[in-house]
Amino acid sequence: MGLNIKKFVMIAGSALCISLPAKAAVIVLGGGFAQMCYEAARDVDDPSMTQITGSRIDIAPMDICTIAIGAGDLTARDLAGTHNNRGVLLFSEGRFDDAMKDFDSAIRYARDIAEPHVNRGASLVAMKRWADAVPSLNRGIELQALEIEKAYYNRAIAHEELGDVRRAYFDYTKAAELAPMWEEPKLQLTRFTVRKKP
């Protein structure tokens, strides 16, 4: 017996209420300014100043990452991680096109790191490019991203917007299983009714 999944949409005024994509995932690679870039991306919720190795510094987080990238002393993997982390900062500012450029650069430097793929997918979801987002999110899942629940969640949004309610339901369910303390996937699942086919 298969599942018949009926989607219920939430309406706020006259606009469909769509979930925002999950936050981008940061990774740490390299040391020095690359490490500082990671710490800035990790602390993205406090963009005015960031805590770097125990002291407050007055350098814009984006500048820290740009310095690390331009220093010329990073391996390809470290460059990938630093581009990813700068992309996270851009993503947090809603600069999705610029974030995409960094995620694309990260992928060019190291195709086997999952986080830039997941973050690229999240940016595409944020830009409502649903069909374009799915392959990036698939790749991040294949590569076993550290915060893989974000990939499933964002892919669920993309599937739902593309009209594939069944896949959306299973991706929200997977995100909820992987991160049981994260409320958003569980909230999204409340909009679905699952019935067994007669």
Local structure of 198: helix, strand or coil: coil
- Is residue 128 within 8 Å of 120, Cβ to Cβ? no
**Nearest-angstrom CA–CA distance, 169 and 55:** 45
Residue with token string 């698939």: 138
**Nearest-angstrom CA–CA distance, 152 and 126:** 15
Q: What percent of the chain has pLDDT over 70?
A: 77
pLDDT at 60: 84
* Domains, in order of start, for the chain: 1-13+113-198 (1.25.40.10), 28-93 (no CATH)
Q: Would you place residue 25 in the very low, low, confident or very high pLDDT band (cuts 50, 70, 90)?
A: low
| Residue 27, token pair as written in the block | 């990774």
Counting every residue, how long is the chain?
Answer: 198
pLDDT in tens, 138-195: 999 999 999 999 999 999 999 999 999 999 999 999 999 999 999 999 999 999 988 8
Closest CA to 192 of 162, 175, 158, 168: 168
**Nearest-angstrom CA–CA distance, 60 and 75:** 24
**Nearest-angstrom CA–CA distance, 103 and 119:** 7
Neighbours of 10 (CB within 10 A): 12
- Is residue 8 within 8 Å of 24, Cβ to Cβ? no
Radius of gyration of the chain (CA): 18
- The single-letter code of the amino acid at 93 is E
